[in-house]
Structure 1
């Protein structure tokens, strides 16, 4: 006879069911806790919503990206982000955010990304601006610091700057319509003499033209979002004959320009040294020592970094100065009043006058603030994961400081679109606004080592030009042509061409200019 077990009582059945349900709940909770622990507690900074796979590729601007980045900041905050084909881009739209990340956490944010177009294909990766953070980068910085890294180091080159600025005003007096080329020649002459001991030619100097051409190409090659190969590195292996590979042919041509810019002035110094006629310069002093082939390679690219970096950025600032004077005659008149009182009208200003010219110093600061020469800087790269201000900054993120926004932030600078040197002078209880040079020359360990050179060049140009020239708007058929402050696209941005009238302030000013020529 077969016996079956007794069926469960209703009470026992409900007890077993309750235990099973409790076990299931505990199991699910354990899985959830494990999932939450494994998931990052912070997310990328906010930003515009992207699409699957391509992310924010379609949102990336193709020109003047600083305006787009600034609009994102107004919507998403001072730290915002986009992701392009899996690459996070962190945009910093305030000085506070930039200082806290790039200065205070410089150990994390001092590296550079490998820019495929400008760095790898064209070859700018060997210059200081794109060099990865490491020992070679530090060697470059030490070389620059010895040469121009402080006011005392720069003092030996001040007579060179004064001499070239005197030549500049003579050239402007003769041909004021060629202002842009006069500025480029003057700045290039200073840099080439410091770096290579080279005296530029009166017209069409080959090294000046090389620097102009190469730096314009650098600006286009490194602009954020300017080239698809920077977002899809595998494209750099596409052969030049392949359809759609025009960027490869462009990179090849730009690479040849860069090679000439690096090699030709360096060879000039070596040939001069072999002939025993090389003047003292950054390159000749270093070559006179016993150095290895690696040291010579670093020296060659360090000199090229100085030559190319200072030449184009300072040109942009000085061209903006003349635009600002044409647009703001009251500012020019106030500066000239100070110059007449301190310097007089019988000579040109010198660096010895600088401490007695507070308004000219303020005007110099305003030139750097008003016209952002490098509006979005060159991207920094995070070398490790970081949690900043509650946001996740993944390793490999590109961090882009929007310098244009920082120098035009109404929270920092009152009426930021206005050119007003008085903002940097104390008046009664009103304190000066922050010095823009703390922003314009970069952040952390990537701060521009040529800042002292740029500052001294812009100061002496502003002072000397205003001492002897009036800058005004053009009048055509009785109609005043109002100049407009608009900038070109690129890593290094210039004011777009404008028209102005440059005339000597008086016959006495003409005599002072010509008197410098006779000295």
Structure 2
């Protein structure tokens, strides 16, 4: 009797389930957590939506380190900055791996990007390339002119099309990262590279949704042939794989042609290709660049970017405009400070940053209040560990509840209120914890572009405050106050809201147009 493909798959699934059932008991005391069912453990306890809320509740009940298990996979949730730092920072040599995602990583090839690359030599080479252009304050300071130029371009876009605020923000972020990475200045409309990364990120968002594909729950299904009934996911994976390859390869080809013609401006890729590289080195250059490209050219959909952490820039700037719409007093205070320090005859620059403490506090509050990545990206433990007396098994997935940390009322009183003053020390009252302690991630998986994101966000915010008034929309004589609603998922953006953005005066409008 012949053995069919179905027989092979069913046998594989049976062996996989048997392995889960017979998996060894933990060698030590596990962290506390909700009790589970026999065999299935906590599979029904894991939330499908707004996971950070459930994890925050667990933190209050069980403590800062919480453990659950589902289908044989141990998961540890960290609800406290100190606990996350102790494990992910101080023990980063064993807490820096990534879990294997079958559909999102293996079948569609996204395991080649920095976000899903396993911890090892390739990961280190990616990070080294990125560090060479955005990993130090010296490198970022060299690029201040670019940030200021693109922030001014952003002002012009908003002046022309204030109703397209989200799109204007996205174009600014994409323009900066494409120039740094490939020396490529994108077109204002219908740019092929920007459109391509939008499609790729949208696809990745789809295939990494929890329980979106059965193959992630039952990995043996990945061996089913594409013609097999019900295996349409294999065809989807093949199509999405090609999109990803195009996204990584096409900008590289652009730089190669520029180099051959002697016309390549300085960029990460041009600098790295201007040397003798092995095929493996060139491959790593391509994927390091693709990770930067997609990590900076974020869309306003619920998408996971390819960088170590979802880009702060797009979501943070959209949160900034949302905050000013809801909290006009913060805008007035920031404008008064800029007027006093900078005046009205020029735009603010990075040279003014140290003299604008309220604006700095406002930027901090944007990063805290509008948390971009509620849970960051998962870490995986590469060897057994004992931490605070708890046994953390090799292969355990570790999640940092970043949104819970940034909205912890014990650390940030009135956490849902937008209060930049919380970051300004006063007599008898210290400043509250800098959100950068966790908003960019932890350990060796911390966002490699955190300095770039910080500079981009600051430049765009300070210039916007200097020249624009952000007001609530009025309908039939009634001001519409938007609700601060955020999309769910690995990366979180404010949902669409309406506001009115207009120049503060004829003089500020002239300042924008004069450059």
TM-score by length of 1: 0.89
CA apart distance, 1:61: 2.1
1:150 aligns with 2:149: no
1:453 aligns with 2:439: no
Determine the structure 2 residue equivalent to 1:440.
439
Determine the structure 2 residue equivalent to 1:419.
418
Deviation by residue 1:332-375 (Cα, 9 ceiling, x = unmatched)? 11111111111111111111111111111111111111111111
Determine the structure 2 residue equivalent to 1:374.
373
CA apart distance, 1:64: 2.3
CA apart distance, 1:409: 0.9
Q: d(CA) in 1 for partners of 2:209 and 2:402?
A: 14
The answer as to whether partners of 2:470 and 2:499 remain within 8 angstroms in 1 is yes
CA apart distance, 1:243: 4.8
Match of 2:60 among 67, 74, 97: 74
Output aligned runs, 1:68-467, within 5 Å. 68-223=54-209, 227-312=213-298, 313=311, 314-467=313-466
Determine the structure 2 residue equivalent to 1:54.
40
CA apart distance, 1:482: 1.7
Which one is further off, 234-243 or 78-87?
234-243
Larger radius of gyration: 1
Determine the structure 1 residue equivalent to 2:18.
none
CA apart distance, 1:84: 1.1
Question: Cα–Cα, structure 1 residues 219 and 376, in superposed 2: closer, same or farther, change >3 Å?
Answer: farther
Alignment coverage as a number of residue pairs: 479
Question: Cα–Cα, structure 1 residues 486 and 240, in superposed 2: closer, same or farther, change >3 Å?
Answer: farther
CA apart distance, 1:257: 2.4
CA apart distance, 1:129: 1.5
The answer as to whether partners of 1:65 and 1:224 remain within 8 angstroms in 2 is no
Question: Cα–Cα, structure 1 residues 462 and 410, in superposed 2: closer, same or farther, change >3 Å?
Answer: same
Determine the structure 2 residue equivalent to 1:45.
31
Question: Cα–Cα, structure 1 residues 98 and 231, in superposed 2: closer, same or farther, change >3 Å?
Answer: farther
CA apart distance, 1:120: 1.0
TM-score by length of 2: 0.89
Question: Cα–Cα, structure 1 residues 264 and 433, in superposed 2: closer, same or farther, change >3 Å?
Answer: same
Q: d(CA) in 1 for partners of 2:394 and 2:194?
A: 40
Determine the structure 2 residue equivalent to 1:479.
478
1:499 aligns with 2:485: no
CA apart distance, 1:231: 3.4
Structure 1: 5+ residue runs without aligned partners?
Answer: 1-37
* Aligned-partner SS, 1:58: coil
Question: Cα–Cα, structure 1 residues 152 and 324, in superposed 2: closer, same or farther, change >3 Å?
Answer: same
Q: d(CA) in 2 for partners of 1:466 and 1:347?
A: 13
The answer as to whether partners of 2:207 and 2:213 remain within 8 angstroms in 1 is yes
Q: d(CA) in 1 for partners of 2:213 and 2:492?
A: 17
Determine the structure 2 residue equivalent to 1:18.
none
CA apart distance, 1:503: 0.8
What root-mean-square deviation, in Å, do the aligned CA atoms of Structure 1 and Structure 2 show? 1.8
Question: Cα–Cα, structure 1 residues 454 and 126, in superposed 2: closer, same or farther, change >3 Å?
Answer: same
Deviation by residue 1:240-267 (Cα, 9 ceiling, x = unmatched)? 4545545444433332322221111111
Q: d(CA) in 2 for partners of 1:246 and 1:326?
A: 45
The answer as to whether partners of 1:374 and 1:491 remain within 8 angstroms in 2 is yes
Question: Cα–Cα, structure 1 residues 49 and 242, in superposed 2: closer, same or farther, change >3 Å?
Answer: farther
Deviation by residue 1:300-321 (Cα, 9 ceiling, x = unmatched)? 0001111111222221111111
Q: d(CA) in 1 for partners of 2:228 and 2:500?
A: 50
Larger fraction in helix: 1
